[in-house]
Amino acid sequence: MNLSSRIARRHSTLSACRKTQHGFITTEFVWGIAFLLLPVALLVITLPTWQERQTMARVAARDAARSYVLNADSAQAQQVVDEITTNYRLNKGDVELTLDGDPPSQRGGKITATVKVKVPVANIALLNLRSPEFTFDESHTEYVDLYRSARQ
């Protein structure tokens, strides 16, 4: 058997195999898009929202605790949180502030501000869908100065 007849036989065998395969490229493409590309795209769209809300809660808790320690006014601490909420374009009902600890007039005391933020599971702005939400809590403890002068 010479080389040219072997090549011809191999070519005819491969051609016969190709004719019997019908292929499922269209189906595989659709399933690939549905199960791989869409979940990854949804995750890429959603993760920045989670990170933004976490950062907002951290900043709000820190600033509210500092405001309460310095001014001894829970309404002003709530106003600080409301301003931060407005800056992030959130509804005021999505953020909750809780202040715990010693009274701010007590030297050496500590105040803990806890901010709870509602975070959407999925955030698809184009479709304007309401998705389930979970809450994220962030706390910050601020200490009252030991050598602070008494309030008048």
Q: Give the pLDDT confidence of 98-144 residue by residue, as tens digits.
A: 999 888 778 888 999 999 999 888 776 666 666 788 899 999 999 98
Residue 69 located in a structural domain: yes
- Name 117's Cβ contacts closer than 8 Å, sequence gap at least 6: 53, 54, 56, 57, 60, 90, 94, 95, 135, 136, 138
Residue 15 located in a structural domain: no
Residue 77 located in a structural domain: yes
Measured over the CA atoms of residue 39, residue 44, residue 45 and residue 51, the dihedral's sign is positive
Residue 121 pLDDT: 80
Residue 117 pLDDT: 95
Query: Residues 91-100: what's their mean pLDDT?
Result: 91
Specify the pTM: 0.70
Supply the range of the domain harboring residue 100. 22-143
Local structure of 150: helix, strand or coil: coil
Res. 59: pLDDT tops 60: yes
Q: Number of folded domains in the chain?
A: 1
Query: Residues 23-43: what's their mean pLDDT?
Result: 78
